């Protein structure tokens, strides 16, 4: 995507809707330019009429006009900046909402390939660069560009010869800006990468703080943190150094130019070709023009930063999902909720050579419990995730009551499925809101009932704030068993027709597991249930048990049948009998 296309896209998608505010800011910029130019022009009559001719009538009028000019400039500049700040913050909000929307809707597999720290950096660092381009660079382009035109007009009105000498500043500023812009674009990209690295590291610190302490790596991590922060600091220094690189160039050029102008003006005044009042008015206009020229010299740099950020952000917003909602598809019609896998193959995009599931054919009886047994990494959890289309199979079909799930409306499909995962996911919110998340329109009594059935009430009532207790990031303040019970309560509240249990009792002690089994029986009553269980004692009464190994179905049947015909299943069972 070229810089022009990026700029066009940002304007069309995010700036155009705020065109009325931008036009108003431009109008105020015209007032700024006019009042600045008027200040320089007023020095001509001020010197001539007051200091040379000693005109008593104008001794009050001209100072008052100068006050008016400065007041108009100050108020107009304030209003222009306020308008552009509001516009840039609106644009920032829109971009961030689009990024978050894209992220929320993204396929799980795409999200898993991203590091959260890197994404946070895109959301903050890059969006800031774009809004900076809008609020600072574009305002400067209007304000300083118009001011420069106004001041150049005053300069030419006073003396065109001197103006031609002064105008040499413009090409030097332009060349400087172009070179700086290219350099800043490159360094900004590097800085964003370092910012992403730092954010990734911070996220890892939060996740692994216990491991750091157990392995006594505090000093090691401190050194690593210093390295990440130091690298970002160096890139930030480079950016700011490049920004101010134009200052010495412009100062030297301005100094040489003023010296030449004073020498040449002196000659003109001595030869009566230039009056003193004309010279001072010209000099004032030229000195006032220095600031807009300096600002315009860095506009290209800010625009380069914004475009560089846009190049990273727009692909995130534009990311296309492989798994589509299919709004026009039929809603699922549940009768028994029987599930059939036909010739299913699957591999993850990150490693397509490794086939996770190979020619899977399975039939799950509706309103009954079916169990999956196998070694860790055999593909059991992946199979479960294919049913709500968290992932899509590479080929083959999955049918629910004879309906191909890929052809159904995705929302209607997922509405009928609940999952209780071994890695319980909770929000940094209250216990009440975490349960209610499954059904936001549920009554309080429904939430309390789900908590009671899932054996949550007994530990909730021991907490100081009970259901209003904030549980921390991913339920950090709760034990593994308590988190698992909350997950079951959430599934109970949803009351869907299909229940997926992935090691749902893995984090529970024997006493709690017995209670939870009662809750699971309530949860799965008359529901199609697929269970992945480490403890075979919990699935002995399943309608059917599938033995999965290395992505393939090795055997299937009831418990007694499998003891006879599946060596792998018998080994699992024998090991657990001995351990018990």
Complete DSSP assignment for 261-307: HHHHHHHHHHTTSS-HHHHHHHHHHHHHHHHHHHHHHHHHHHHHHHH
pLDDT of residue 341: 92
How far lies 191's CA from each of 180, 243, 406, 420, in Å? 16, 14, 42, 41
State whether 124 and 264 are in the same domain: yes
State whether 117 and 207 are in the same domain: yes
Give 86-126 pLDDT, tens digit per residue: 888 888 888 888 888 888 787 777 776 776 667 777 777 78
- 520 domain-assigned: no
The C-alpha atoms of residue 540 and residue 572 are separated, in whole angstroms, by 13
- 138 domain-assigned: yes
State whether 107 and 211 are in the same domain: yes
The residues facing 400 across adjacent strands are 339, 403
Query: What range defines the domain where residue 550 resides?
Result: 323-416+498-507+527-580
State whether 285 and 327 are in the same domain: no
Identify the residue with better confidence: 379 or 211.
Answer: 379
Q: Are 439 and 519 a contacting pair, CB within 8 Å?
A: no
pLDDT of residue 426: 84
Give the total number of structural domains in the chain.
3
- 512 domain-assigned: no
State whether 122 and 135 are in the same domain: yes
The C-alpha atoms of residue 573 and residue 492 are separated, in whole angstroms, by 30
pLDDT of residue 176: 64
The C-alpha atoms of residue 329 and residue 406 are separated, in whole angstroms, by 9
What's the mean pLDDT in 486-509? 80
State whether 388 and 459 are in the same domain: no
pLDDT of residue 342: 92
Q: Which of 317, 341, 362 is the last residue of a domain?
A: 317
State whether 286 and 145 are in the same domain: yes
State whether 408 and 431 are in the same domain: no
Q: Residue 341's domain is classified under what CATH number?
A: 3.40.50.300
- 176 domain-assigned: yes
State whether 336 and 448 are in the same domain: no
Strand bridging mode 528-532 / 369-373: parallel
Identify the residue with better confidence: 27 or 129.
Answer: 27
pLDDT band at 277 (very low <50, low <70, confident <90, very high): confident
Q: Which of 302, 317, 332 is the last residue of a domain?
A: 317
Average pLDDT, the chain: 81
State whether 308 and 234 are in the same domain: yes
How would you classify residue 347: left for phi > 0, otherwise alpha for psi between -120 and 50, otherwise beta?
Answer: beta
- 196 domain-assigned: yes
Kindly report the CA angle at 8 between 5 and 11, in degrees rounded to 5?
150
pLDDT of residue 445: 92
Range of weakest confidence among 43-47, 346-350, 448-452: 43-47
pLDDT at 492 over 70: yes
Complete DSSP assignment for 512-547: HHHHHHHHHHHHHTTSEEEEE-SSGGGSTT-SEEEE
- 516 domain-assigned: no
State whether 239 and 343 are in the same domain: no
Give 195-236 pLDDT, tens digit per residue: 777 777 777 777 766 677 767 777 887 788 888 888 888 877
pLDDT of residue 243: 66
Q: Are 558 and 545 a contacting pair, CB within 8 Å?
A: yes
- 454 domain-assigned: yes
The C-alpha atoms of residue 148 and residue 290 are separated, in whole angstroms, by 9
213 burial (CB, 10 Å; 0-12 / 13-18 / 19+) is: exposed
Q: Residue 259's domain is classified under what CATH number?
A: 1.20.1560.10
State whether 312 and 375 are in the same domain: no
pLDDT band at 75 (very low <50, low <70, confident <90, very high): very high
Q: What is the H or E stretch that residue 43 is in?
A: helix 19-45
- 522 domain-assigned: no
Instruction: State the pTM of this model.
Output: 0.74
């Amino acid at each position: 995507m070229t810089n022009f296309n990026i700029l066009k896209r940002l304007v069309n998608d995010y700036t155009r809707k705020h065109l009325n505010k931008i036009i108003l800011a431009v109008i105020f910029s015209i007032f700024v330019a006019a009042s600045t130019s008027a200040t320089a022009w007023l020095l001509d009559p001020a010197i001539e009429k007051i200091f040379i001719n000693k005109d008593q009538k104008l001794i009050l009028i001209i100072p008052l006009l100068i006050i008016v000019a400065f007041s108009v400039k100050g108020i107009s500049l304030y209003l222009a900046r306020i308008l552009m700040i509001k516009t840039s913050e609106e644009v920032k909000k829109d971009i961030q909402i689009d990024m978050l929307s894209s992220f929320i809707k993204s396929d799980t597999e795409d999200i898993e390939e991203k590091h959260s720290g890197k994404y946070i950096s895109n959301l903050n660092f890059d969006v800031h660069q774009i809004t900076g381009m809008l609020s600072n660079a574009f305002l400067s382009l209007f304000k300083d560009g118009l001011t420069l035109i106004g001041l150049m007009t005053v300069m030419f009105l006073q003396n065109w010869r001197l103006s031609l000498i002064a105008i040499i500043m413009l090409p030097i500023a332009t060349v400087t800006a172009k070179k700086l812009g290219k350099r800043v674009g490159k360094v900004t990209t590097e800085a964003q990468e370092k910012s992403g690295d730092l954010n990734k590291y911070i996220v890892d610190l939060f996740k692994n703080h216990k491991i750091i302490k157990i392995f006594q790596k505090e000093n090691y991590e401190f050194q690593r943190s210093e390295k990440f922060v130091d690298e970002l600091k160096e890139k930030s220094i480079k950016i700011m150094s490049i920004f101010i690189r134009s200052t010495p160039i412009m100062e030297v050029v301005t100094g040489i130019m003023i010296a030449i102008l004073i020498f040449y003006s002196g000659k003109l005044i001595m030869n009566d070709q230039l009056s003193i009042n004309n010279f001072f008015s010209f000099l004032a206009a030229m000195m006032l023009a220095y600031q807009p020229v300096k600002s315009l010299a860095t506009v290209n740099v800010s625009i380069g930063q914004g475009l560089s950020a846009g190049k990273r952000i727009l692909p995130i917003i534009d990311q296309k999902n492989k798994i589509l909602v299919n709004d026009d598809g039929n809603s699922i019609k549940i009768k028994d909720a029987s599930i059939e896998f036909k010739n299913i193959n699957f591999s993850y995009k990150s490693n397509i050579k490794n086939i996770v599931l190979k020619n899977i054919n399975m039939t799950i009886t509706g309103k009954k419990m079916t169990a999956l047994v196998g070694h860790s990494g055999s593909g059991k959890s992946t199979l479960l995730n294919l049913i709500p289309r968290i992932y899509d199979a590479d080929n083959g079909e999955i049918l629910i009551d004879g309906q191909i799930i890929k052809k159904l409306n995705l929302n209607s499909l997922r509405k009928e499925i609940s999952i209780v995962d071994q890695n319980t996911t909770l929000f940094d919110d209250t216990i009440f809101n975490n349960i209610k998340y499954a059904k936001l329109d549920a009554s309080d009594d429904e939430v309390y009932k789900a908590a009671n059935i899932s054996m949550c009430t007994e530990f909730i009532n021991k907490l100081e704030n009970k259901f209003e207790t904030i549980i921390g990031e991913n339920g950090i303040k709760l034990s593994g068993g308590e988190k698992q019970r909350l997950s079951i309560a959430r599934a109970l509240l949803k009351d869907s027709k299909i229940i997926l249990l992935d090691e749902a009792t893995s984090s529970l002690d024997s006493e709690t597991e017995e209670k939870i089994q009662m809750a699971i029986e309530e949860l799965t009553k008359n529901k199609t249930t697929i269970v992945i269980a480490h403890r075979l004692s919990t699935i002995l009464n399943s309608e059917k048990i599938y033995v999965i190994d290395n992505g393939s179905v090795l055997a299937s049947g009831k418990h007694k049948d499998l003891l006879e015909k599946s060596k792998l299943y018998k080994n699992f069972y024998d090991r657990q009998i001995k351990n018990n």
